[in-house]
Amino acid sequence: MSIHPTAVIDPKAVIGKNVSIGPFAFIDESVQIGDNGVIGPHVSILRHTTIGEGVRVHDGAVLGGLPQDLGFSGEPSFVKIGKKSTIREFVTIHRGTKPGTVTEVGDNCFFMANVHIAHNCKVGNRVIIANGAMLGGYVEIGDAAFVSGNVLVHQFVKIGRLAMVGGGAGLSKDVPPFSMVQSMGRNTVQGLNIVGTRRAGMTPEERKQIKTAFKILYVSGLNVAQAVQKLKATYTTGPAAEFAAFTERADRGLCRYVGSKTGESSDETDG
């Protein structure tokens, strides 16, 4: 273990094996840091925060800060961060707002500088969020999604697995899994994240199923409820069933589609 002499660590904090803590870091009571973690200079990890093994936290990040919610009553709430994630400079992750609730981050995530993750967010595994993106309270992001720089996500929005959100986009509606959100757009899906699904190891049959599901939802002429009913009747398993389940949970409504009437675009070549 390597702890700089200027670091301040509460005696009630639990620090794992082989953890490095840099100059002027502050580790509060009721904090747990897993083995092999690296905590950079001027990092603040506040009470009720649990960090898994192998997490690297860079300069100036604040983890476990109080929620920015006027309804917060000051009672205990939590932040839980999985293993082997990288949290870059000045990232902020806030505690849950209601007593006993949790802001959750999965494993192997990468949050670039100045990302903000608000209270009660649930971020899956292998999620990448680029510089300056901001998530409002209760946002949910599925595994392996990519959120580009300076994206603004309204509270309660859901972003599905393997979705890709373009830079500068604004979201107040839900993003279906495997979809791509238009850069600098507002609530607009432009097609499917074919490159991302390939890189994730999805089979040609699975990718074909996703395309079919996307077309049923967006270009078949069915309304959302009819599209979900057709998807559920056609697919009981696989990514199309996941697409249907996500759409059924889209409480804020779905981003609209701005691509071609056939559901194909230049971004969707899948030879």
CATH class of 202-268: mainly alpha
Q: Match domain 2-196 to its CATH number in 3.20.20.70, 3.30.1330.10, 2.160.10.10, 3.40.50.2300.
A: 2.160.10.10
Predicted confidence (pLDDT) per residue in 128-179, tens digit: 999 999 999 999 999 999 999 999 999 999 999 999 999 999 999 999 999 9
**Residues 63 and 87: beta-carbon distance below 8 Å:** yes
| pLDDT the model gives residue 259 | 81
pTM above 0.75, yes or no: yes
CATH 2.160.10.10 positions along the chain are 2-196
Round to whole Å and give the CA distance between 123 and 15. Answer: 24
Predicted confidence (pLDDT) per residue in 35-59, tens digit: 999 999 999 999 999 999 999 999 9
| pLDDT the model gives residue 118 | 98
| N residues, the chain | 271
| pLDDT the model gives residue 269 | 47
SS3 per residue for the chain: CEECCCCEECCCCEECCCCEECCCCEECCCCEECCCCEECCCCEECCCEEECCCCEECCCCEEEECCCCCCCCCCCCEEEECCCCEECCCCEEECCCCCCCEEEECCCCEECCCCEECCCCEECCCCEECCCCEECCCCEECCCCEECCCCEECCCCEECCCCEECCCCEECCEECCCEEECCCCECEEEEECHHHHHHCCCCHHHHHHHHHHHHHHHCCCCCHHHHHHHHHHHCCCHHHHHHHHHHHCCCCCECEECCCCCCCCHHHCCC
Average pLDDT per block of 10 residues along the chain, 271 residues long: 96 98 98 98 98 98 97 96 98 98 98 98 98 98 98 98 98 98 95 95 96 96 96 96 96 91 53 42
CATH 1.20.1180 positions along the chain are 202-268
Residue 225: exposure state from Cβ atoms within 10 A (0-12, 13-18, ≥19): exposed
